[in-house]
Amino acid sequence: MNASLAQAQAVIGADVEEIIASIGNEGFFSIQLSPDKTVDIPLPSATPVTIPVPSFLCGIEIRNETIPNLVTTQITNVGLPVIATTVKNSSIRSINLPIPSPVPIVPAYAMHSGYFLIGSTPDTVKNAIIAFETGNGLLSTLGFKKKFAGLPMRNNGIAYVDAKFGKLITEIQKQMISSIDVASANSTERDISSIFMNQAKPQSCALIIENLNNGIAVKGTTTASGAQIAAATTVVPTVGLLAAIAIPSFTKSRNKAKSIHTANNGRQIHLAIFDASMEAAALDMPEVWPTEANYKGKTSTQFFKDAVSSNWIEGVDAAFFAAPGIVPEENISVFAQANNAWCVTLGLSDSTPASTPFIFTKNIGTSGGSAPANSTLNTVNGLMNIDPFGEKTCVIITKGGAVKILPRKLFSQDRFNPSGSDLNYIVP
């Protein structure tokens, strides 16, 4: 268990026990349907189905700001674009990502009245906050009041599926089943589709759950049978199984996003130095590319400090040179080795092949080494288990401006330095 907690802490960058301790007792998940907007959902081998635009909202009770701060920190570290708006004294932060989906998805989150809210769009979170403050939410609707009439509202949980929503879901399922090519389907697929088409009917429910001394009581009305309610208890382990499948994929995507963000920063460093070098050459000024004469025996940290103070790299603070696992430092005057993720090649010139590495993350070096060391490009033979990225992947920006993100299994001397130029490089 301790090993698992340590691994989880390394992945998310926070104390897992502290996160768990910050979570309260309440939580919810809801799907809403727009009363006036529709969207076409494409179906395989079938005419798209038109449905009201859905939105998604979930919330958990929190005792402090540990989770909101963690989410904000992770998004900031990856470099995702965030837009902030304020509603009822709460800040709603939305992540403007190009998510391919027929349904509008602009992930947004906020903390309000002791709840951490996550919604599919900023408006979803905004409407939830306004409904909470005004008392004009779900509980105030006539349909909800009618369904829950006579049921105790002081309980341990509720489940509510509106008949309109249940009918819509059933219609989508039927259209998906009907899109199966019966001629090419096997007997099992045909049997399943036939059973579903014959038995499927809209589902709805209005249930409350109470924790009693001798068990759990479920009260209310539902179109489901007793057997179906019992079967619903399999939802929790199923979600756990799906999470076990999804978390490694999410972690992989998260790591990829971090390496892309680091590569983008490296590309900007290259562009700044390249532009400054072109300008210096045109004005017959001293060389901007780091030379053996100026930096041999020094560090890449010193080079970057010089580059910023000389305005070769403009409009950035020192945190720009960090990467995952590297402590960012905004003040260039105190920028140090611990804040720098990059090694820098010395002695690049017009005759140096464009494929020669210019800057690369400092986990590139001698395989099995514990720390980067000033050396030559041709001595590099692997990845080291240090930040950023450890032995998982690395980022390289070539003299010509090409970006390389090489996972460990693809790393080789030829891919790292295809030109074979045996130039010296300096480390942070």
Residue type present at position 214: N
pLDDT, mean of residues 15-21: 80
Helices 300-309, 235-282: axis angle to 10 degrees equals 60
Q: Given a cut of 50, is residue 389 above it in pLDDT?
A: yes
**CA dihedral of residues 252, 253, 259, 265 (deg, nearest 10):** -160
Strand partners, 59: 28, 117
What pLDDT is attached to residue 225?
61
DSSP character string of 283-316: TTPPP-S--HHHHTTS-HHHHHHHHHHTTSS-S-
What pLDDT is attached to residue 252?
58
The reply to whether the predicted model has a pTM over 0.75 is no
What pLDDT is attached to residue 403?
87
Of 55-59, 154-158, 200-204, 353-357, least confident by mean pLDDT is 200-204
Q: Which two tokens stand for residue 107?
A: 């992930």
What is the Cα gyration radius of the chain? 28
Of 1-10, 218-227, 352-361, least confident by mean pLDDT is 1-10
Q: Given a cut of 60, is residue 191 above it in pLDDT?
A: no
Q: Given a cut of 60, is residue 184 above it in pLDDT?
A: no
User: How does pLDDT run across 234-276, given as a tens digit for each residue?
Assistant: 444 444 444 444 444 555 556 677 788 888 888 888 888 888 7
Residue type present at position 87: V
Q: Which two tokens stand for residue 142?
A: 């006539």
Q: Given a cut of 80, is residue 34 above it in pLDDT?
A: yes
Q: Which two tokens stand for residue 364?
A: 């590139």
pLDDT, mean of residues 320-324: 84
* 369, 415 Cβ separation under 8 angstroms: no
What pLDDT is attached to residue 401?
84
User: How does pLDDT run across 411-428, given as a tens digit for each residue?
Assistant: 888 888 888 888 888 888
CA distance 238 to 373: 49
Cis peptide before 388 (omega within 30 of 0): yes
Most confident range (mean pLDDT) of 10-19, 249-258, 371-380, 400-409 is: 400-409
What pLDDT is attached to residue 283?
67
Q: Which residue has the higher pLDDT, 254 or 153?
A: 153
Q: Which residue has the higher pLDDT, 130 or 307?
A: 130
Banded model confidence at residue 72, pLDDT cuts 50, 70, 90: confident
pLDDT above 70 covers a percentage of the chain that reads 76
Coil vs helix vs strand at 213: coil
User: How does pLDDT run across 332-386, given as a tens digit for each residue?
Assistant: 888 888 888 999 888 887 788 888 899 999 988 866 666 677 788 888 888 888 8
CA distances from 230 to 90, 181, 234 (A): 40, 33, 8
pLDDT, mean of residues 223-243: 52
What pLDDT is attached to residue 108?
93
What pLDDT is attached to residue 239?
46
CA distance 76 to 241: 30
pLDDT, mean of residues 12-19: 73
Q: Given a cut of 90, is residue 92 above it in pLDDT?
A: yes
Q: Given a cut of 70, is residue 196 above it in pLDDT?
A: no
